[in-house]
Amino acid sequence: MSIVHRLRHGLRIIRGRVFRRLGLTDKTVIKVYHGYGHASQLVLYGHVFRQSALPRKRYRQSVLNNTWALLRLFMVKPLPNVRLRTQWQGQVLETVADRDGFYKFEWQDIPPLEQGWHELTVEMLGPEREVLHAGSGSLYIPHATQYGFISDVDDTFLISHSANLRKRLFVLFTQNARSRRPFEGVVKHYQLLAAGNTSPDAPNPFFYVSSSEWNLYEYLLEFTRVQSLPRGVFLLNVMKQVRELLNTGQSNHQGKFARIVRIIEGFPKQRFVLLGDSSQRDPYIYESIVRHFPGRIHAVYIRDVYRKSRVDVLEVVGKIEAAGVPVCFFRHSEEAILHSRKIGLISDAAAARELSAGDPDAAKGQVG
């Protein structure tokens, strides 16, 4: 090995050590997000990166550590235009990542499909079709239940202060996925909804549709896991860079409408319940969904977190109710649980049991 080659090799080693010290990697990483299947159509999303954050292993409650951990999630460099391959039930599927490193597999199978969660591997192919890198993830085929649930994230179940930029950024930078708190009672409500009118081995499906970016996917996944929220499929917003961090979760609400439409269109025989909050555009998006899909929306839940928008939101609530869809505009999750019991989403016995048990570990405060 020549001196030049040895020098380059040594610099690569040093660079790798510095990156690891910073919680970053300059190695190719294939992210595979939760995909989902419906009828005969299946879809799987992900990103390919040439630089990304290493998975967080320690969750010490330190402002400095939490701030750096958040910044790392936005210090990504995509690897565009690479060919990818996955396999499903004997089918070999290929696609190409776009300029942002984002990829999507869409394919069909012959029903009936095996319901539940399925593990898949996505491989990156070289010029000779050799496997260069691989990543793994899951695809969810919901059980044939009566209802599906589409929920927002920020200020719907996760306290985020979305209407106040200063508070929102403060929480993002100083807390982490394990120290952030849900609203009081919301976990029990979601657990009851997932189990309502079905059996434990066939829960109602949950889809988490948010204006937050794919940068926060693992963050949100860890939060829902730690809090024991129903396991579900995330559909998030386009990836952002560090320079765009101050605008996280604040844009492309129209894209959120389109993502919800794709879910509802994908399950033509299922009725849906929409859950959101009053801090941003959820009431208006959901009112549009109700008009777009007459007879398909069973109920709408809007958490009242922003008093300045209350009058306008009540006007939208009236429009949804005029379309024949029940609306629960609530401040406390106990109200939402009682409403869900009233319209038959959860049983009287289950609701009474959970309300009497309480939820002492959840956050007490409200937003707004």
**What pLDDT is recorded for position 355?**
60
pTM reported for the whole predicted model: 0.92
Considering only residues 106 and 246, tell me which one the structure prediction assigns the higher pLDDT. 106
Q: Is residue 368, in this structure, part of any structural domain at all?
A: no
Judge whether 12 lies within some domain. Answer: no
Q: Rounded CA gap, 85 and 44, in Å?
A: 11
CATH of the domain at 73: 2.60.40
**227/267 same-domain check:** yes
228 and 295 part of one domain: yes
Residues 56, 167, single domain; the answer is: no
Answer with the residue of higher pLDDT: 81 or 361: 81
**Residues 262-304 pLDDT 10s:** 999 999 989 999 999 999 899 999 999 999 999 999 999 999 9
Summarize pLDDT for 240-264 with one digit per residue, the tens.
998 888 777 666 567 899 999 999 9
Q: How far apart are CA 121 and CA 255, in angstroms?
A: 28
Is the pLDDT reported for residue 79 higher than 90? yes
pLDDT: which is higher, 367 or 52? 52
Residue 169 and residue 125 share a domain: no
How confident is the model over 61-86, as a mean pLDDT? 95
Last residue of a domain, one of 96, 120, 141: 141
Q: Are 279 and 368 spatial neighbours (Cβ–Cβ below 8 Å)? A: yes
Please give the pLDDT value at position 363.
Answer: 47
- Give the confidence band of 366 by pLDDT, cuts at 50, 70, 90: very low
The domain in which residue 107 lies consists of 22-141
Domain boundary residue, one of 123, 141, 159? 141
Chain centroid, CA 110 distance in Å:
28
Report CA 211 to chain centroid distance, whole Å.
9
Based on the structure, what is the number of domains in the chain?
Answer: 2
Per-residue confidence at 142, pLDDT binned at 50, 70, 90?
very high
